[in-house]
Amino acid sequence: MSEQLEKKVMETLKKIKLSKKDKILVAVSGGGDSSVTAYLLKKFGYNIEGIHINLGVGDYSKKCMNSAKKLCQQLGVKLPVYDLKKEQGKTMKDFWREVGEKKKLNNCAVCGVMKKWILNKEARKLKVKSIATGHNLDDETETFLLNVLKGSLGLSSKTGIITKNTKDKKFIPRIKPLFYIHKKDIMAYARKNKLDFVDGICPYREDSYRIEIRKFLSTLSNKEKENLMKNAEHVLKKIKKENSKIQYCQLCGEPSRKNICKKCGLMR
């Protein structure tokens, strides 16, 4: 079981064609997926550094940060912490209250935009070649189905084991080593290897549509989920737009598809 998982991840990494010399920034949330991502990259001999974003949402954030720190200590990996309150003057709870209500966005939507913005910026500061996240097969299948059902397949067009924009130096490629691995197998692997992680989902999760889709997907077999993603990749290859034009946000200077980036759009 463990061997099979390791083999699959190794194959994914081969497809991504990463050099073992280039530094990879692993976004370590304190959850099982990103803990396994960091553990395996380290085990396979990649040059990694971690980063944890302290969202400042009470006890949950404290638990996550502790796990992330313990894991990185065990692995002998550096883990700078980006403290949202210190850096932005507000915790994620403040953002949810202020931005979420004003823009009619759920917690997960606000949090997702902020995290992507922070990771790209910090990755550049730390001069890494790519950012690895713990996204797994279940996450990816959910997102794909969600976009199909919302009639926004185009939003999935960037999905894959690597997201990059080769024409833009300010955009750091994001990789997903666990793209083909089922959530259940990742959790079993994390337990077997006694990795430190917070079990369970974020108590502030607020994405009812995604939760419905997750319920539906849980009725499918592993094979069916894998087939869904195989088809997704096949279809998406055809609609992948070649490096759609990137510009820089007029407010923060980060790469963006519009003249104001998503993060700054939320703040206005």
Q: How far is the CB of 253 from Zn ion (least distance, A)?
A: 7
The letter for the amino acid at 1 is M
Rg of the Cα atoms in the chain: 18
**Within 10 A of 110 (CB to CB), how many other CB atoms are there?**
21
Q: How far is the CB of 251 from Zn ion (least distance, A)?
A: 5
Q: Which residues pair with 83 in a beta bridge?
A: 54
Among 261, 266, 267, 268, indicate the residue that binds Zn ion (CB under 5 A).
Answer: 261
Pairing of strands 130-132, 174-175: parallel
Q: How far is the CB of 46 from ligand AMP (least distance, A)?
A: 15
Q: If we measure between CA atoms, which residue out of 115, 3, 1 comes closest to residue 54?
A: 115
Binding partner selected for residue 252 from Zn ion, ligand AMP, none, CB under the kind-specific 5 to 8 Å limit = Zn ion
Q: Does 249 bind Zn ion (CB under 5 A)?
A: yes
Q: How far is the CB of 122 from Zn ion (least distance, A)?
A: 15
Among 13, 190, 264, 266, indicate the residue that binds Zn ion (CB under 5 A).
Answer: 264
Q: How far is the CB of 250 from Zn ion (least distance, A)?
A: 8
Q: Does 251 bind Zn ion (CB under 5 A)?
A: yes
- Say if residue 199 is exposed, middle or buried (CB neighbours under 10 Å; 0-12, 13-18, 19+): exposed
Q: Does 252 bind Zn ion (CB under 5 A)?
A: yes
Q: How far is the CB of 122 from ligand AMP (least distance, A)?
A: 10
Binding partner selected for residue 55 from ligand AMP, Zn ion, none, CB under the kind-specific 5 to 8 Å limit = ligand AMP
Binding partner selected for residue 251 from Zn ion, ligand AMP, none, CB under the kind-specific 5 to 8 Å limit = Zn ion
Shorter beta-carbon distance to Zn ion: residue 42 or 121: 121
Pairing of strands 174-175, 162-163: antiparallel
Binding site for ligand AMP (CB under 6 A): 27-29, 33-34, 51-53, 55, 112, 115, 133-135
**Binding segment for Zn ion among 127-135, 165-173, 238-246, 250-258 (CB under 5 A)?**
250-258
Give Cα separations from 61 to 65, 92, 96, 110, 126 (angstroms). Answer: 6, 10, 15, 16, 23
> Contacts for 255-259 with beta carbons within 8 Å, 24 or more apart?
255/120, 255/165, 255/168, 255/170, 255/171
- Say if residue 6 is exposed, middle or buried (CB neighbours under 10 Å; 0-12, 13-18, 19+): middle
Contact footprint for Zn ion (CB under 5 A):
249, 251-252, 261, 264
